[in-house]
Structure 1
């Protein structure tokens, strides 16, 4: 599916645009280097400059990466190197794109889709399964082989649903006895339970395919679970294989996502997005303001921990996060002064553990300056500098809401 894209399109030379490939970021430099390797390979494939950026834990961050490209090109397409459309793709990347558009006049910034469901990925999973079968010495055309696609797991049901769709697509037209979707954490079914369940079918072999990009802590956990299962069920041969890595088929997918974004044909899963429609059990997540505040909080408070072995993705966040809308209307009403007074009051306080940051529009134009306190979900409206002192001394210091300032609660 490779394509040549050197030259120009519609009179615009390709060297006037660039791609920013956005990885999650990791404490393991090997994982970050994988993103950079894919960026180099994608640049060779597309014939346009491709840089790597990261959401967290690695540098450069998205704003710095865009700023580094902005002086050389007039158009940048941001493509997330993410398997599914969960909170990073739905919140954090669009927020960074929105901020870049506001900060760089004359620069076109396109927001691309995640890797998602793609025929090249299904083929890649099939090859990963075949490699495990070769290692175990089994033949799915002659023996009962069950495949288990094991993903990270998400709090977003739409992302989890895509794992089940991938498993189904892998099952279609192939000779597996069955293909199951499973997760290493966060949601169910967890891998251990899935393996015990498929053992009841008494297959000849179980191949576990880690649906991960990198060979990190979670991939090793998948291998460990498969090895434990293999020891516990001597009548079943079982093993886990390699993650997706830097396979060239990922470039096919990334190239398609680039073309979609630059042509304005990106498709997102809005009909099943928990931030846009009410899904049973996730009703409290509906609403753009909630999603934006969640993205701001995640972006500003993610930090390293030393104990990476126990949890590869942990957060050392302050107790409170305060977001102050500094968009045009709120700014005209004095939001910058409120922001600075809040920051000063927090610095002066010996009681509160809070971080105060700017936010873009919170959707309450004309009722500001707006101040949102998270995780409490309390929004204060029509605030001034004196109100900032009250918010700190009462809400942040003593956890007492300033009731006469409350605009709404989420």
Structure 2
């Protein structure tokens, strides 16, 4: 949807931006746009879709299209959990939007999270698989495995376990286990083998995914392989959440929370704000990067003011290297050191290279972000450091074979 052809102000002076992740599969992006259209019909105010990556329009482009015709925009996240995108990327985009559109009020909502409508939706998906298998939870021993993507953020992973427990409470399942298809443990394969030891009559695998993409396919494959390996257990996989109308109930609630300033975030268990065991280095990681960028912008107009006691030169380039768990295991510390060395050796010393916590591209690391351009490089090897410095930092030429938008 776009507001370029009809003015949103004719409908309302308030608008909603539904932020999806974005996918290389256009079917998944179309699901986001469908939900945006359905949410507009539900709320009676303009709703546009914007994407974090891999799809158009970007958050910035969507805001630019809405802002001229409305006085306030509420951002609603189509994210299942609060990890790096929700906690870092969208707030950074909104900071920029507030600077570029000072006459527009922006309210940032929360992620989908734990909500009664989602628990009911997961229950119905489990029931659909039971029907396909010909089992009944009231008469048969039915175990459920709730499988999510997995995150490097413990707060997000904890919500999966909470949903699994809520799905178990008050229902006739023999057990409900939380598991993950990547990034963290327990993995789907480990969980299924553990459940098999209890010899249930059936195992229902429920993907906790929005779209039907690559990860959902891996979950289906894992369930099928398990079914073949254990002939005494019937196992099958359900469908992702898709565009079920009950998601609109959740999105509507998140919209109301945003526009009334009543958003609740789990800051007491956020790894960016408190020291959690095993994640101590993440405290302030992404926040520190954002502060550095804000600092640069805030003082850009002071750099040539000689009598300003706070005047100083901001770096021309800021390079952030993700050193979170997954990227670190893939060699990010070595990439960080090579980049620092290459930056020191360059003729232009006005470059800052820092470590960052999760950049939200787990599995494609080591990840390197170069600002102010906002270019993200993936699968960076130590030997790529010289190329990034010589080509991008010195000559303003993007290293195309590492660019996340071109891979």
Normalised-by-shorter TM-score class? 0.7 to 0.9
- TM-score normalised by structure 1 residue count: 0.74
Deviation at 1:325, TM superposition (A): 4.7
Deviation at 1:98, TM superposition (A): 1.1
Counterpart CA distance in 2 for 1:242 and 1:328 is 47
Counterpart CA distance in 2 for 1:153 and 1:38 is 24
Q: Give yes or no for the alignment of 1:248 onto 2:245.
A: yes
Unpaired runs of 5+ residues, structure 1, are 1-11, 297-321, 336-364, 381-386, 401-410
Tell me if the contact between 1:19 and 1:78 (Cα under 8 Å) persists in the aligned partners: yes
Deviation at 1:290, TM superposition (A): 3.1
Counterpart CA distance in 1 for 2:244 and 2:48 is 18
Deviation at 1:39, TM superposition (A): 0.3
Counterpart CA distance in 2 for 1:283 and 1:269 is 17
Q: Give yes or no for the alignment of 1:55 onto 2:1.
A: no
**Alpha carbons of structure 1 residues 393 and 54: separation in structure 2 relative to 1, 3 Å:** closer
**Alpha carbons of structure 1 residues 398 and 34: separation in structure 2 relative to 1, 3 Å:** closer
Unpaired runs of 5+ residues, structure 2, are 1-8, 322-335, 341-345, 355-384, 390-407
SS of 1:389's equivalent in the other structure is coil
Deviation at 1:70, TM superposition (A): 0.5
Counterpart of 2:138 in structure 1 is 141
Q: Which structure 2 residues correspond to residues 112-131 of structure 1 after superposition, within 5 A?
A: 112-131=109-128
Q: Give yes or no for the alignment of 1:185 onto 2:185.
A: no
Which 4+ stretches in 1 moved above 4 angstroms?
A: 322-325, 365-368, 391-400
Cα RMSD for the two superposed structures: 3.0
Counterpart CA distance in 1 for 2:40 and 2:237 is 32
Q: Which structure 2 residues correspond to residues 251-330 of structure 1 after superposition, within 5 A?
A: 251-287=248-284, 290-291=286-287, 293=289, 325-330=295-300
Counterpart of 1:158 in structure 2 is 155
Counterpart CA distance in 2 for 1:393 and 1:137 is 61
Tell me if the contact between 1:324 and 1:372 (Cα under 8 Å) persists in the aligned partners: no
Q: Give yes or no for the alignment of 1:71 onto 2:68.
A: yes
Deviation at 1:369, TM superposition (A): 2.1
Q: Give yes or no for the alignment of 1:234 onto 2:231.
A: yes
Counterpart of 1:100 in structure 2 is 97
SS of 2:69's equivalent in the other structure is coil
**Alpha carbons of structure 1 residues 334 and 205: separation in structure 2 relative to 1, 3 Å:** farther
- TM-score normalised by structure 2 residue count: 0.75
Tell me if the contact between 2:319 and 2:353 (Cα under 8 Å) persists in the aligned partners: no
**Alpha carbons of structure 1 residues 263 and 150: separation in structure 2 relative to 1, 3 Å:** same
Deviation at 1:327, TM superposition (A): 1.9
Counterpart CA distance in 2 for 1:251 and 1:14 is 20
**Alpha carbons of structure 1 residues 105 and 171: separation in structure 2 relative to 1, 3 Å:** same
- Which string of whole-angstrom CA distances, capped at 9 and with x for unpartnered residues, describes residues 238-289 of structure 1? 00000000000000000000000000000011000000000111111101x6
Counterpart of 2:212 in structure 1 is 215
Deviation at 1:366, TM superposition (A): 6.1
Tell me if the contact between 1:212 and 1:243 (Cα under 8 Å) persists in the aligned partners: yes
Counterpart CA distance in 2 for 1:54 and 1:224 is 28
Q: Give yes or no for the alignment of 1:369 onto 2:314.
A: yes
Tell me if the contact between 1:115 and 1:257 (Cα under 8 Å) persists in the aligned partners: yes
Deviation at 1:331, TM superposition (A): 3.5
Deviation at 1:372, TM superposition (A): 3.9
Q: Give yes or no for the alignment of 1:197 onto 2:156.
A: no
Tell me if the contact between 1:15 and 1:48 (Cα under 8 Å) persists in the aligned partners: yes
Deviation at 1:389, TM superposition (A): 1.5
Counterpart CA distance in 2 for 1:240 and 1:394 is 45
Counterpart CA distance in 2 for 1:398 and 1:84 is 36
Counterpart CA distance in 2 for 1:76 and 1:215 is 29
Counterpart CA distance in 1 for 2:212 and 2:304 is 49
Counterpart of 2:6 in structure 1 is none
- Number of residues of Structure 1 aligned to a counterpart in Structure 2: 327
Tell me if the contact between 1:334 and 1:369 (Cα under 8 Å) persists in the aligned partners: no
**Alpha carbons of structure 1 residues 324 and 63: separation in structure 2 relative to 1, 3 Å:** same
Deviation at 1:206, TM superposition (A): 0.2
Counterpart of 1:45 in structure 2 is 42
SS of 1:20's equivalent in the other structure is strand
Counterpart of 2:18 in structure 1 is 21
Counterpart of 1:390 in structure 2 is 349
**Alpha carbons of structure 1 residues 291 and 393: separation in structure 2 relative to 1, 3 Å:** closer
